[in-house]
Amino acid sequence: MKKILLLLALFPFLHATSYHGELVSCKSEEIILKLQGEEVPVALFNIKMKDEAVWNKTCDLLSSAKKITIEIDPSSAITSPLPVYLFADDTLVQEELIKQQEAYIQIRNPEYTYEKQMEDVEKTDTVMAPESDPIVKKAHAKNAPIFLFILSCVWCIFLFIFLHKKKQKND
């Protein structure tokens, strides 16, 4: 019965329409917004947080926002918690978390409204490897001739065995 009442409360929300809301509470994996006079639990649509500490950053971002807006993707089901694209001061929260490498896209579906935008952010944020230690570079440079010599010896052994077996077959 409780689920039916919750679904009836969520029924007025239309897909691909923006709704303004107020933050009621935010804690790990639970965001509650006041939308159209109702308190509605929402979930960030199509992203997965890398760890629990990211929720604190997300809650801080939402609590400091002057304007919170949601959009429901046309392909998502109206369930509880309501899967939404969440905007804090006109910034897509999912995109911001991906940009900071705190979350990743769960499902890659080109039909999702903001999928391309989130994928573009994910592709442009490349992780640069730290510059290699000069001592390590020197050690690798010193070992290169040794590895080349060993590799040459192994190839010579294989060639010798191959030719020896071929000679035995012919005899």
Tokens representing residue 139 in the block:
């050690």
- pLDDT on residue 8: 43
Q: Which residues of the chain have pLDDT under 50?
A: 4-8, 10-11
What is the per-residue pLDDT for 5? 45
Question: What pLDDT was estimated at residue 144?
Answer: 72
**pLDDT value, residue 34:** 94
